[in-house]
Amino acid sequence: MLEDYQSKPITDDTQPIKTGRSKRSGCLGFFIDTVETVLLALLLFLAINALSARVRVENISMKPTLTPGEFLLINRVAYKIGKPSLGDIIVFHAPGESEDDYIKRIVGLPGDEVVITDGMVYVNNNPLYEPYIAEPPNYTGEWVVPPNAYFVLGDNRNNSSDSHMWGFVPHDDIVGRALLIYWPLSEITLLRTPDLVQALN
């Protein structure tokens, strides 16, 4: 019967939750969070550093494409998962005993015959289309690129120490491929590989 139903007052039986965290444990938690954040940042830095490098352009050998003072992002793994292409801008260990790195453009792949004459570069008898150079080369020569090596030239052809002077770049000496100019901000530019192969049939 409804008359027999009696309601009971609702009481709050909940108890305050005790976290057991003292001021000391709160400081410890903050310290642990800070250490984890620092370690994560360090791991990210190491991972990014393993995959890429940052270099500063020091001379005029790649003008007008690159000018002194610009900073570049370099892809270190580009040629571990792929092969260099004609027209790529690469960073590599300088020949000889120098501890410096150079930056130049690939104009000859393994097995290619490179001929420079009358201000033109020919690869396997085909003239290269190179709108990026400062001026035509004023030197001549003929080279056959050996296996596992590359023929490189600076875009500032007549002011560059490159393959026409000291020979080829071994594949193992390549640091990576230049991806972009990231500093100064006004000069941010992706460094795309030009279509030089349009002249190669």
Q: Which residues are designated catalytic?
A: 61, 104
Q: Considering only CA atoms, which of 108, 99, 91 is closest in space to residue 148?
A: 108
Give the length of the chain: 201
Chain Cα centroid distance, residue 156: 22
Cα torsion at 74, 78, 80, 82 (round to 10°)?
A: -160
Alpha-carbon distance of 106 to 131, in angstroms, equals: 15
Question: Backbone phi, then psi, for 12, in 5-degree steps?
Answer: -90, 105
Residue 95 burial by Cβ neighbours in a 10 Å radius (0-12, 13-18, 19+): middle
Cα torsion at 25, 31, 36, 41 (round to 10°)?
A: 160
DSSP state of 44: H
